[in-house]
């Protein structure tokens, strides 16, 4: 019996899933990490400062340096502001156009934004380009994890979605090494224009490959292709029937806004939504983005290292972070979502508390500087265990089918909101309150394991579907939960 072929070259099953990861997931999240981290290392280059003296923190002092630090934070964070808009726009677009069209639109936005950014000779043009670029990446951050989770079998879903964090961190690492390499070019705008222009490649791959892949909509032809089975196979019929039954029986008239007004909420929709919301808050306010974007600034300004050494250490720290992502890849399904969040939050809190102590010493204290550098590397060990992909996975799993895009749109927009806050305030905070800034992250990170333990009675522990909060209530309605909630 012939297997359905709706993908390029007749790919099905695992081969089709690999093609989806190679053409969409990898370039989308490499682009995510590359552009989120991209401006931090470039902002101290003399050639960059010459074009945008309004954010020069290298050749200024006193009140002017403080003012420029705030402006620098705003320019760097304009990417996050655009991403917030892009993620939130998915709430209004909904499921109607399908994942492919949303991803294609995101690719077009990133290309337009990159053109404006690379060709900029004025700060205004650069910021506009950065906002448009961010809007495209924001749409990726909502649509791509949902599309990936819907195309993955339950037994592989955790690992597949964790790949988003691995590729994101690869983008961080590539960005810092390339920025460092091109800083050795003779003094010219090419020092920063070429690194920014290199991010065109992932956008073009996505734009060219997105329509070669089948949608993840509940149709037998798509399910059969992604599972590598004939359309008439009993497993395909059972899975499709479960999805359709779930859509028909689950309060299909309920909108995201209406769950706040419901007197009775047997499926705990509000609770699910708040879990997504606060998980994305923790993901940003634990200090991960602080290290990813401003690692070179911390090494150079806070620890008194030379510019070249700071860039090398920042690139090494983010490369180390990339390799540490594989811990989550192998542990997410074995240990479960709760456990990795608890381990990650505890480790990050201890690292930030210790970092506040070591950075309280003068930069001339060699031992304290070494300790601070080691703690940044140790922080980059704990952070990706739970919060560099696990948060996107969890949010796609807890949302019911009919609210999946809406919940993920709002919760991911919340992710970008706090991302914007961190990137915006960090330059000024490092200049003004110094080591005290890390105390805030230590306290917030400490709230993660406490919150997870407090919620434990609501989170059933399962080998694959732990994040599906209310499995027992679904089983009472009959049928396999994995069939009824195809995530």
Helix (H, G, I), strand (E, B) or coil at 486: coil
Span 172-190, pLDDT tens digits: 888 888 888 888 888 888 8
Considering only 18-27, 29-38, 334-343, 473-482, which range has the smallest mean pLDDT?
473-482
Q: Is the pLDDT reported for residue 408 higher than 60? A: yes
Please indicate, yes or no, if residue 244 is contained in any of the structural domains. Answer: no
Helix boundaries (H) for 210-285: 220-227, 234-249, 269-285
Q: Is the pLDDT reported for residue 128 higher than 90? A: yes
* CB contact at 8 A, 341 and 382: no
Confidence class of residue 158 from pLDDT cuts 50, 70 and 90? Answer: confident
Q: Is the pLDDT reported for residue 130 higher than 90? A: yes
Select the more confidently predicted residue: 168 or 403.
168
Please indicate, yes or no, if residue 487 is contained in any of the structural domains. Answer: no
Considering only 133-147, 229-243, 325-339, 419-433, which range has the smallest mean pLDDT?
229-243
- Most confident stretch, 291-295, 384-388, 430-434, 476-480: 384-388
pLDDT for 484 equals 34
Q: Is the pLDDT reported for residue 344 higher than 90? A: yes
Please indicate, yes or no, if residue 247 is contained in any of the structural domains. Answer: no
pLDDT for 374 equals 92
For residues 30-38, give the mean pLDDT: 85
Q: Where are the beta strands (DSSP E) in 36-178?
A: none
pLDDT for 477 equals 38
* CB contact at 8 A, 20 and 148: yes
pTM score above 0.75: yes
* CB contact at 8 A, 214 and 6: yes
Select the more confidently predicted residue: 154 or 466.
154
pLDDT for 265 equals 66
For residues 360-372, give the mean pLDDT: 85
Q: Which of 442, 325, 438 is nearest to 387 (CA)?
A: 325
pLDDT for 439 equals 94
* CB contact at 8 A, 388 and 168: yes
Please indicate, yes or no, if residue 166 is contained in any of the structural domains. Answer: yes
pLDDT for 459 equals 47
Considering only 18-22, 271-275, 466-470, which range has the smallest mean pLDDT?
466-470
pLDDT for 209 equals 87
Please indicate, yes or no, if residue 294 is contained in any of the structural domains. Answer: yes
Please indicate, yes or no, if residue 176 is contained in any of the structural domains. Answer: yes
The CATH number covering residue 436 comes to 1.20.1250.20
Span 217-276, pLDDT tens digits: 555 566 666 666 566 566 655 555 555 544 444 445 456 676 776 666 666 778 788 888
Confidence class of residue 8 from pLDDT cuts 50, 70 and 90? Answer: low
Tell me the two tokens of residue 6.
Answer: 């709706």
Please indicate, yes or no, if residue 239 is contained in any of the structural domains. Answer: no
The residues, any chain, with a CB within 8 Å of residue 458's CB and separated by 6 or more, are 268, 271, 469
Domain count, the chain: 1
Containing domain of residue 282, as a range? 10-230+254-480
For residues 281-308, give the mean pLDDT: 82
For residues 26-33, give the mean pLDDT: 93
Span 50-98, pLDDT tens digits: 888 887 776 777 778 777 777 877 888 889 899 999 998 887 776 666 7
Q: State how far the Cα of 244 lies from the Cα of 483, in Å rounded to an integer.
A: 9
- Of all helices (H) and strands (E), which one includes residue 73? helix 62-93
Considering only 72-86, 269-283, 398-412, 422-436, which range has the smallest mean pLDDT?
398-412
Please indicate, yes or no, if residue 196 is contained in any of the structural domains. Answer: yes
């Amino acid at each position: 019996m012939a297997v359905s072929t709706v993908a390029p070259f007749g790919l099905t099953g695992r081969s089709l899933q690999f093609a989806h990861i190679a053409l969409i997931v990898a370039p989308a999240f490499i682009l995510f990490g590359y552009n989120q981290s991209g401006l931090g290392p470039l902002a101290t280059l003399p050639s960059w400062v010459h074009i945008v003296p309004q954010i020069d923190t290298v050749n200024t002092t006193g009140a002017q340096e403080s003012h420029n630090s705030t402006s620098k934070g705003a320019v760097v964070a304009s990417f996050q502001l655009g991403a917030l808009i892009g993620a939130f726009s998915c709430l209004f677009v909904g499921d109607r156009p399908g994942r492919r069209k949303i991803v294609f639109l995101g690719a077009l936005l990133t290309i337009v934004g990159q053109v404006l950014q690379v060709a900029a000779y004025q700060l205004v043009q650069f910021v506009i380009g950065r906002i448009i670029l961010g809007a495209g990446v924001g749409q990726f951050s909502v649509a791509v994890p949902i599309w990936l989770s819907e195309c993955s079998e339950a037994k592989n879903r955790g690992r597949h979605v964790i790949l988003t964090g691995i590729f994101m961190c690869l983008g961080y690492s590539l960005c810092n090494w390339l920025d460092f390499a091109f800083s050795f070019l003779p003094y010219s705008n090419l020092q920063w224009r070429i690194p920014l222009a290199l991010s065109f490649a992932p956008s073009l791959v996505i734009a060219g490959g997105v329509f070669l892949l089948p949608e993840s909509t509940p149709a037998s032809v798509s399910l059969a292709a992604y599972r590598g089975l004939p359309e008439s196979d009993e497993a395909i019929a059972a899975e499709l029937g479960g999805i359709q039954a779930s859509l028909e029986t689950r309060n299909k008239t309920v909108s995201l806004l209406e769950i706040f007004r419901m007197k009775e909420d047997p499926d705990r929709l509000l609770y699910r939504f708040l879990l997504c919301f606060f998980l994305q808050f923790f993901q940003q306010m634990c200090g991960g983005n602080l290290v990813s974007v401003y690692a070179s600034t911390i090494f150079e300004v806070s620890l008194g290292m030379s510019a070249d050494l700071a860039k090398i250490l920042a690139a090494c720290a983010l490369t180390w972070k990339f390799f540490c992502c594989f811990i989550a890849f192998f542990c997410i399904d074995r240990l479960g979502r709760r456990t990795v969040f608890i381990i990650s939050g505890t480790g990050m809190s201890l690292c930030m508390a210790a970092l506040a102590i070591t950075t309280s010493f003068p930069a001339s204290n060699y031992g304290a500087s070494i300790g601070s550098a080691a703690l940044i590397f140790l922080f980059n060990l704990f952070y990706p265990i739970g919060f560099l992909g696990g948060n996107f996975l969890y949010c796609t799993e807890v949302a019911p089918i009919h609210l999946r895009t809406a919940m993920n749109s709002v919760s991911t927009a919340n992710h970008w909101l706090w991302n914007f806050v961190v990137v915006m305030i960090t330059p000024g905070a490092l200049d003004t309150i110094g080591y005290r800034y890390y105390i805030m992250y230590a306290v917030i990170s400490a709230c993660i394991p406490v919150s997870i333990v407090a919620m434990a009675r609501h989170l059933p522990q399962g080998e694959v579907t732990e994040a599906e909060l209310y499995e027992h209530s679904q089983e009472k309605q009959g049928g396999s939960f994995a069939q009824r909630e195809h995530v």
